[in-house]
């Protein structure tokens, strides 16, 4: 079975269409009909991204992620990240619908060179929220551009989950995007398929369950995806990292699973 692979830049126009607002100006892809079919007309959308939980990593650990795997068994597609397969570049692609040469954000402290979902939601009279750990793309980029900054310090993905739910309960932003940063950090340190990664995998599945069930009960359509995958760095490699992401080395690092629920 060979299913279509969608560009990650199709997510921003899809979220815009669900919300009934115009797509950011530099988004070039059409919305993804498969997602629209289920989410169209939702008043609010949440995008949840466990960092580096790409296709290869999820496939390796799927039995240890019963909640996320259950979502994928119902609704599933594969997205391709933009180059380079780095976190800030792909979160910027998620909110603008553009590639790096257009959105211009190659690290989390730079400025976007084009419009984002934060802008078009604001223009339509709604608010947005961006949530993540301080020092990460979530805290340094998403929280900086959103109307409601959800910056968690010290870094703690459980606190990121609670911050997301609290902002949704208290402010009901129409668009909220959340980065769970711990998977990427742990995979870099131990390798994404190493036995030592099982703890963060189980923790992340529990966090995805809490956030998805909470957000759905608050009336959100929720899209769960990742920014890129990771591969194990060979034991003989002198790198201090045991996991890395670069699709020029391992092409599958660009593929991420996407599921959605309402």
Beta carbon of residue 92, minimum distance to Zn ion (angstroms, whole number): 15
Beta carbon of residue 227, minimum distance to Zn ion (angstroms, whole number): 9
| Residue 111 CA neighbour count, 13 Å, CB half | 1
Beta carbon of residue 32, minimum distance to Zn ion (angstroms, whole number): 25
- By CB under 5 A, the residues from 125 to 164 that bind Zn ion are none
Q: How far apart are CA 2 and CA 193, in angstroms?
A: 25
Q: Using CB under 5 A, which of 184, 227, 247, 253 touches Zn ion?
A: 184
- Closest CB to Zn ion among 217 and 239? 239
Beta carbon of residue 130, minimum distance to Zn ion (angstroms, whole number): 19
Reduced to 3 states (helix: H, G, I; strand: E, B; else coil), residue 165 is: helix
Q: What are 244's strand-pairing partners?
A: 231
Q: How far apart are CA 8 and CA 260, in angstroms?
A: 14
- Closest CB to Zn ion among 147 and 156? 156
| Angle made by CA atoms 195, 60, 72, in degrees to the nearest 5 | 135
DSSP 41: T
Specify the stretch interacting with Zn ion by CB under 5 A; choose among 31-39, 160-168, 182-190, 234-242.
182-190
Q: How far apart are CA 139 and CA 108, in angstroms?
A: 9
Q: Is 232 in the site for Zn ion (CB under 5 A)?
A: no
- Closest CB to Zn ion among 70 and 135? 135
Residue nearest to Zn ion (CB): 184
Residues touching Zn ion: how many (CB under 5 A)? 1
- Closest CB to Zn ion among 27 and 226? 226
Sign of CA dihedral 122, 128, 134, 135: negative
Beta carbon of residue 257, minimum distance to Zn ion (angstroms, whole number): 17
Specify the stretch interacting with Zn ion by CB under 5 A; choose among 123-131, 145-153, 183-191, 215-223.
183-191
Q: Is 227 in the site for Zn ion (CB under 5 A)?
A: no
- Residue 129 in contact with residue 147, Cβ under 8 Å? yes
Q: How far apart are CA 93 and CA 105, in angstroms?
A: 9
Measured CA distances, 140 to 21, 95, 123, 135, 218 (Å): 26, 15, 23, 6, 26
Q: How far apart are CA 40 and CA 37, in angstroms?
A: 6
- Closest CB to Zn ion among 14 and 230? 230
- Closest CB to Zn ion among 119 and 184? 184
Binding residues for Zn ion, per CB under 5 A? 184
């Amino acid at each position: 079975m060979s299913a279509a692979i969608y560009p990650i830049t199709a997510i921003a126009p899809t979220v815009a269409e669900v919300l009934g607002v115009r797509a950011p100006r530099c988004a070039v892809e059409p919305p993804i009909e498969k997602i629209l079919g289920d989410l169209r007309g939702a008043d609010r959308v949440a995008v949840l991204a466990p960092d580096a939980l790409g296709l290869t990593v999820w496939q390796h650990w799927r039995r240890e992620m019963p909640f996320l795997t259950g979502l994928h068994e119902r609704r599933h597609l594969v997205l391709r990240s933009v180059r380079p397969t780095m976190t800030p570049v792909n979160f910027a692609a998620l909110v603008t619908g553009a590639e790096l040469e257009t959105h211009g954000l190659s690290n989390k402290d730079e400025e976007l060179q084009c419009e984002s979902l934060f802008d078009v939601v604001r223009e339509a009279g709604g608010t947005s929220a961006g949530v993540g750990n301080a020092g990460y793309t979530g805290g340094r980029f998403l929280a900086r551009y959103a109307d409601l900054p959800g910056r968690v310090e010290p870094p703690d993905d459980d606190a990121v989950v609670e911050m997301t739910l609290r902002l949704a309960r208290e402010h009901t932003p129409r668009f909220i995007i959340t980065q769970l940063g711990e998977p990427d950090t742990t995979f870099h340190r131990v390798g994404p398929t190493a036995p030592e990664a099982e703890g963060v995998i189980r923790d992340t599945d529990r966090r995805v369950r809490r956030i998805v069930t909470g957000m759905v009960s608050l009336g959100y359509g929720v899209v769960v995806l990742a920014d890129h995958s990771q591969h194990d760095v060979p034991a003989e490699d002198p790198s201090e990292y045991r996991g890395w992401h670069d699709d020029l080395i391992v092409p599958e690092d660009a593929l991420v699973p996407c599921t959605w629920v309402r």
